[in-house]
Amino acid sequence: MNASASVYKIKQKLHKVPENKLAEIDDFIDFMLMKSEVSGKTTKFEGIWEGLGFEKIKDLESEIRKIRKSSTDSILKRSYNL
């Protein structure tokens, strides 16, 4: 079972848990996270595109809009023989 399927299954079951047991589940999750030493550190992607030439584009938003439109037009023009 993949991770997203496991998360979905847990969420479905969590809705059925009585309210008085939710604190116990929260404590258990905290224990499991501590035991597995999962870092709560968030990775920030700010600046990952810096220095790659995008600074040279005068109107980046307009260029992105044009690319999206041409991609959409191209996809819509395709015919599929199903």
Domain spans, the chain: 3-36
Task: Give the pLDDT of residue 48.
Answer: 87
Q: What is the mean pLDDT of each run of 10 residues along the chain (82 residues)?
A: 85 91 92 76 83 86 94 88 60
Place of tokens 């996270």: 33
For the chain, the first-to-last Cα distance in angstroms comes to 31
What's the pLDDT score for residue 82?
Answer: 57
pLDDT at res. 44? 83
- For 32, the token pair is 């499991």
Q: Which amino acid is at 71?
A: S
